Amino acid sequence: MTKKEMTPIDHSFLESVAKVLTQARENAKTAVNLSMVYAYFEIGRMIVEEEQHGANRAAYGTQLLKELSLYLTQQFGKGYSAENLKLMRRFYMVYSQDQIGETVFTQFEDLPVVSTGRKFCLSWSHYLKLMRIANIEERHFYEIEAVKNDWSLSELKRQYNSSLYERLALSTDKEKVYRLSEEGQTVKTPSDYNRLLRCFVLFDLKIGELKHQDIGQMQMYVHYYDRKVKLPDENPTIGIVLCKDKNNAIVEMTLPEDNAQIFASKYETVLPSKESLQKLLQEQMLDVSGDENE
């Protein structure tokens, strides 16, 4: 066969080989990133344990971070400021006590396991975002979803800012909420706006025994409105749960935790008291029972 008769190289073959190298580089990059996450966890552990040795722990801890930052910067360059070391310490303190069932991460069976039995599957940037979530269940939720759906950092932030956790917790149609989250939409919640108080007032009427999760559900509604609906110059949202259980009428209110007493004094001048609402509920219950007896 002459040179003129040689079979031309299929371009798709060249692309396939290039893809193998590209994937290998991505895998190597991911492995390096995960290795650094484990390293940061271990550094955080070492800092926490070393801080226990100082007589004045606060002063010793500050000096420890300064000297360690200087030493690591000289050895490895940028990225080891005292502030970053504080984040590593916080990372250890949060995740050394933060366990998720191993079945969640079965797709990462080849990953190492730190001394707590914890696997890390996301980038350091992901964990910096997750650490800011105070609620443990909510933090677990976003970590699991980020792993399962391969969320980038920007996607994790978008889903968190859309209050996906609260909306799923409050919705009976989980699949619809997931669809809405992918489309970037939000779910509307019934509410009333009080112009005198300049705040939203949420109501929830329960039939039957009042349970702890009912209060928690209202708190999630309030949290969602404060984060996504309320304007900066408006007052915090109020949640009111009205419960009718046989012959009992129960009323529970949620007020801002940081200054509940101050706001309570304001609200009482505009809104009916718990006692007034209970009395109104009881009267309504008597009216209904009277109608049924006729």
- Range(s) of the domain holding residue 266: 192-293
Q: Considering the domain boundaries, does residue 207 fall inside one?
A: yes
Q: Considering the domain boundaries, does residue 210 fall inside one?
A: yes
Q: Considering the domain boundaries, does residue 269 fall inside one?
A: yes
Q: How far, in Å, CA of 210 to CA of 243, rounded?
A: 6
Q: Considering the domain boundaries, does residue 94 fall inside one?
A: no
Tally of CB atoms within 10 A around 246: 8
* CB-based contact 65:86 (threshold 8 Å): yes
Secondary structure of 87-98 in HEC code, one letter for each residue: HHHHHHHHHCCC
DSSP reduced 3-state for 258: coil
Q: Considering the domain boundaries, does residue 258 fall inside one?
A: yes
pLDDT string in tens for the chain (294-residue length)? 455 566 777 778 678 888 888 888 877 777 778 888 999 999 998 998 888 875 567 788 888 899 999 999 999 888 899 999 999 999 999 998 766 544 444 444 444 445 555 688 899 999 999 999 888 888 888 898 898 888 999 999 888 877 778 777 666 666 655 665 555 443 344 456 666 677 888 877 766 677 777 778 888 888 888 888 888 888 888 888 877 665 566 777 776 665 555 555 556 555 666 677 677 666 655 444 444 444
* CB-based contact 42:115 (threshold 8 Å): no
Q: Considering the domain boundaries, does residue 248 fall inside one?
A: yes
Query: Which residues, in sequence order, are CB contacts of 192 under 8 Å at separation 6+?
Result: 200, 201, 202, 203
Q: Considering the domain boundaries, does residue 132 fall inside one?
A: no
Q: How many domains does the chain have?
A: 1
Q: Considering the domain boundaries, does residue 218 fall inside one?
A: yes
Does this model's pTM top 0.85? My answer is no
